[in-house]
Structure 1
Amino acid sequence: MTKRVLSVLCGIVAFSSAFAQTKNLVGVASFKSSGRTEYVTAIQDAVYDATLKVRGFSLMGKDKLEQIKTGVGQADQDAGAIAQAKSLGAQYIVTGNILKANVETKPSDLPLGITNTTTAELLFDVAVVDVNSGEEVASTRFTSTTKGKHAFEDGMKELTPGIDKFIRENLKNAVSIAQIEEKNSVGEAIRVLIVAGSLAGLKEHDEFRVYEITDLTVDGKKMHRKKTLGKIAVAKVEDENFSVCLVKEGGADIAKKVEAGAKIKCEIVNE
């Protein structure tokens, strides 16, 4: 018992308190746009709502978001926002560029005569940036053209599932393995303790991909490579900070790399 307590305490010291004590923060910077305020606000709100649905993350308060200004003294328009988000403790920042958010009502020649038709055209880009590395994790474009009395609202309803999916798939709460709990007769890990619990919204049977992070320099640019080692699943959520997981795949590689002190992380597999 004493040995395990000491090991867990070492894990708390060794791993970031962002995983063990608080939820990770996501900053959503003001979207770039010259469109009408109400449409811009509605699109941003859809992205805010999507981030709130991702387990293990908290959206930065609007008082802090107001401090994130794009292009503050930087050549890259988003570099200032990234630097400020990092100083405020964010792990990710979501940026957006609204290229089109038009709603127009024009006469249409229909079989029953000329009538007015409202058309909404939406075109915007959303990107997720890893604040620590400054690298863009992913970006995508959303587009929709809808007609009718509630054209804009219908267009947003059409796009919202895609926004939710994009945010869910690209906000990754990477957690650490605190220790190997149990190995089998040939030295393969069969149970591990991870630094994530009820505070991160974990529940039994949640699955994680386990991977090793290595740094590579390609064409003068430092890049991170994620090599998958295996898969684990939550067997028991112990408390706010820790969960015991069963190893489903890669027990030999996981044991070898953890014991060698390699940089190992786990990312939850999307539901």
Structure 2
Amino acid sequence: MAPGGSVGLIARDRIDTLGEGLFWSAREGMLYWTDILGRRINRLSPATGQVESWETPDVVGWIIERAEGGFLAGIGRSIAQVAFDPFTIDILAQIPGQTEATRVNDAAADPQGRLWLGTMPFSCDVPTGAFWRFDGTVTRADAAPYTIPNGPAIDPKGRFLLHTDSAMGVIFRYPLEDGVLGARTPFVVFEDDWGSPDGMTFDAEGCLWVACWGASCVTRFSPEGVPLRRIALPASQISNCVFGGANLDRMYVTSAANGVEEEHGGALFEVDPGCRGVPAFLSGN
């Protein structure tokens, strides 16, 4: 695989215990992301370099912009409406069957504005998690149990959805039609030295970028699931990636400090990916 582009470190006064949930707001020209275990929502203005941070009452897995304004976030075991300036949180829905041993993890919206999200055990070692759809009502989308559901990525044309159980090291592909998932099939099976698949995003050429937890990199896969390119990063626990910037030609990457002692664990990185992304889908809820 060819080497990747340049990597920069976003300067700020804190690191993330478990950075995740990246979202680029084209409407605001801002980057949002979460620190799940640190219980914070963060916002970066690339134009000024300013980073702001808000504390949440429980763990916070993701944040996604609403088409009508404002944001939705996965907080604890619920889906909440979030606004900033001033910062407010209003719970919209509770995710069924959850206990204090479980939490939200990653999520994405599809072209129709539906949300697809995972829940998982805090312990990260038992298959008590699940994959859900939210379209005003929370419905279980896949009968399969998950240990670490991660990185839903929606095909830019809305034809299929990619999702992973990081504990299995497999990215699955689901046909997507009228809000219903078809039978899942393996799309990429990670080799031992690739790390574990975490957050994911598509680029404008239909290739998939994957944050590789434990492998200190993001990897670009072809539309057929073949690894094409790897960009090395100075942190081991790489958790998510998203395209941003006015031309969607920058990539932002989160990492985690939890459980490791390394200089840049928990940092936010800015990468030159050598390609462009596609606009993020917004929540219609």
Select the structure with the greater relative contact order (CA < 8 A; seq sep ≥ 6): 2
TM tier relative to shorter chain: under 0.3
TM-score, normalised on structure 1? 0.26
- In terms of fraction of residues, the more strand-rich structure is 2
The TM-score normalised by the length of structure 2 is 0.25
